[in-house]
Amino acid sequence: MVSKRWVSLLGGGILLGCLMSAIAPVDGTFGYQGRLTNTGAPVTGTVDLRFRLYDDSLAGSEIGLEIEMLGVAVDGGLFNVNLDFGVGALNGEQRWLEIDARSPAGVGGYTTLAPRQPLLGAPYAIQTRGLFVDEDNNVGIGTTEPAATLHIESNESRSIYATNSNFAGAAVFGDYKLAGDPVGGDGVVGQTDDGSGIAVYGNNLATAGDAIGVRGASHGTGGYGVYGLTLGATGTGVYAGATSQSGENYGLYATSNSTSGVGAYGLAVNFEGNTIGVKGESLSPTGYGVIGQATRASGINFGVCGKTASAIGYAGYFEGGRNYFERNVGIGTPAPLSLLHITHPAIGAGWAFRIQNSSIASFACGMRISDGGFLDITNTADTPSPSFARLNSTGNWTVVSDIRMKEEIAPLGDVLDRAMALNPISFRYKQHDRAQSLGRQIGFSAQGVEPLFPSLVTHGDDVLTMNYNGLSVVAVAALQELKTEKDAEIGELRRLVDSLRARNETLDVGMVARDARIGDLAERIERLELLLAELVVERAE
């Protein structure tokens, strides 16, 4: 039988398996190496193994399906297996591997080995499906040795592809065909020194024909398929236009066949002014100024990718009209799991999500997942110590009540009479699509509560709202006042009872004395009756 002492998983083994997987086919499979020992001695033979992937080192949720491998060979304690929990299982977030072992194979039950083993490094290259990021955060597509922030090597027909809105016309297509290492040639280079110039501009208005607005090809080292340079105040480095109103034509079409070529490259070198590296414009009422399309049906590719090196720059900027995203949108995560998926690092007292009134900047709301794991919401995001509502793991909302965040503290008094003056009502909301399904409601009217407890009512947007949670404080204060009154009444009643009890005791003593006197009189009457009888007898004689 395998005990928990049998397993030790080599950190180096994990690293080796990961490095091997980085150059393996990116189908979700990665190599994994471990070491099994029995009371310190390496195991040799065959074992049965089960593997499960989790998103937490202790609890968490299982990712993908369990993998069972029977009769795995172990030599000198070492075993090697290939695991595939699916490409989506390794999405860049931390993962842990839990292993069950049975040795010898087919004998007895499985033993779960502890602790779970973290998966580090290269297995996460699987989720990129051809995208490689080096230690300097340089991104390579088609290469594991990127030489720039974004380095694309491709022998496809289009390294970078953008279309305009005119049927299938190509907005920009650059072709650089140098077969060897690049020396400095570019498929398309556009440059402008003007503050409002356009580095590369292609405009295809054709509605028919396989026309191309601009096409450039370079086969030499350091050559340019298309190179435009303007030093004029309003000049254009490269301007391409396809004026036909029909056909699949291109304002600018550039390709590159080199493994390190650039299909289209725009550079605005002026450090001042509203310069544009690449600009796309469509005059059609249903056209696209710039369209980026990744046509491969597999891999994590990019239709459009925008980056900025400035801390206050915009990787993407959208102005006017509407913005549409068909599927999941990620902010802070490259692998969104829902329509809107926001992740953020530890934020202390800051806010990850913000809504602000553009007319009154001080009206700012915030939302965050606190460093303690709570959902916090506030409408005073800009105050030094904002109040906020907090949703805990049990589904209960709480509010800030720390005495350290309060001042001008005073008891809440004179509440009972006001609470008794509140008028509970039942009602139905007007002009509500679900009024019939909601049925009758119970509560209070804000207008009825405000004269009694004005702090519970808020005016805004021509509608009065009410803090129903504050009524619980009113109820507690009213009960306390009621108890104080009743305690006083009960005390008075107790004093009255004690007085009556003392009087009863006095009466009891008097009654005992009276009974004694009555007994004495009864004895004296009896003696008188005897004397009277004797006198009657004597007279008779």
Half-sphere exposure of 322 (CA within 13 A, CB side): 3
Q: What are phi and psi of 477, to 5 degrees?
A: -65, -40
Q: Is 85 left (phi over 0), alpha (psi -120 to 50) or beta?
A: alpha
What pLDDT was estimated at residue 310? 83
State the Cα–Cα distance between residues 35 and 76, nearest whole angstrom: 8
What pLDDT was estimated at residue 463? 87
Contact 397, 459 (CB under 8 A): no
- Reported pTM: 0.40
Q: What are phi and psi of 234, to 5 degrees?
A: -130, 25
State the Cα–Cα distance between residues 541 and 312, nearest whole angstrom: 147
Q: Tokens representing 428? A: 């139905």
Q: Return the DSSP state at 178.
A: -
Q: Tokens representing 434? A: 């679900």
What pLDDT was estimated at residue 107? 93
Asked if the bond preceding 451 is cis, omega within 30° of 0, the reply is: no
Q: Which residues pair with 460 in a beta bridge?
A: 463
First to last CA, the chain: 131
State the Cα–Cα distance between residues 375 and 382, nearest whole angstrom: 18
Q: Which helix (H) or strand (E) holds 473?
A: helix 470-540
Structural domains of the chain sorted by starting position, each given as residue range(s) with its CATH number in brackets: 4-128 (2.60.40), 129-307 (no CATH), 329-403 (no CATH), 416-472 (no CATH)
What pLDDT was estimated at residue 6? 42
Q: Tokens representing 73? A: 């060979």
Q: Which helix (H) or strand (E) holds 396?
A: none
Q: SS3 of 123, please?
A: helix
Give the DSSP per-residue string, 261-278: --S-EEEE--SSSS-BSS
Contact 352, 368 (CB under 8 A): yes
Give the DSSP per-residue string, 352-390: SEEEE-SSSTT-EEEEEE-TTS-EEEES-TTSSS---EE
State the Cα–Cα distance between residues 278 and 267, nearest whole angstrom: 7
Q: What are phi and psi of 324, to 5 degrees?
A: -130, 130
State the Cα–Cα distance between residues 159 and 521, nearest whole angstrom: 135
Q: Tokens representing 183? A: 């020396």
Q: What is the pLDDT along the chain (541 residues), one digit of tens a residue?
A: 443 334 444 332 322 233 333 333 445 788 888 888 877 888 899 999 999 999 999 999 999 999 999 999 999 999 999 999 986 787 778 899 999 999 899 999 998 988 998 886 555 544 455 566 665 767 777 776 778 888 888 777 666 665 556 655 555 555 555 555 555 556 555 555 555 555 555 655 665 555 565 566 566 666 666 566 666 666 666 566 666 666 665 665 666 666 666 666 667 777 777 777 777 777 877 777 778 877 888 777 777 788 888 878 887 888 888 888 888 888 888 889 998 888 888 877 678 778 888 888 878 888 888 887 788 888 888 877 677 788 887 877 877 778 888 889 898 888 889 989 999 999 888 866 655 667 788 999 999 999 999 999 988 778 899 988 888 899 998 898 888 888 998 999 999 999 898 888 888 888 888 888 898 899 889 888 888 888 888 888 7
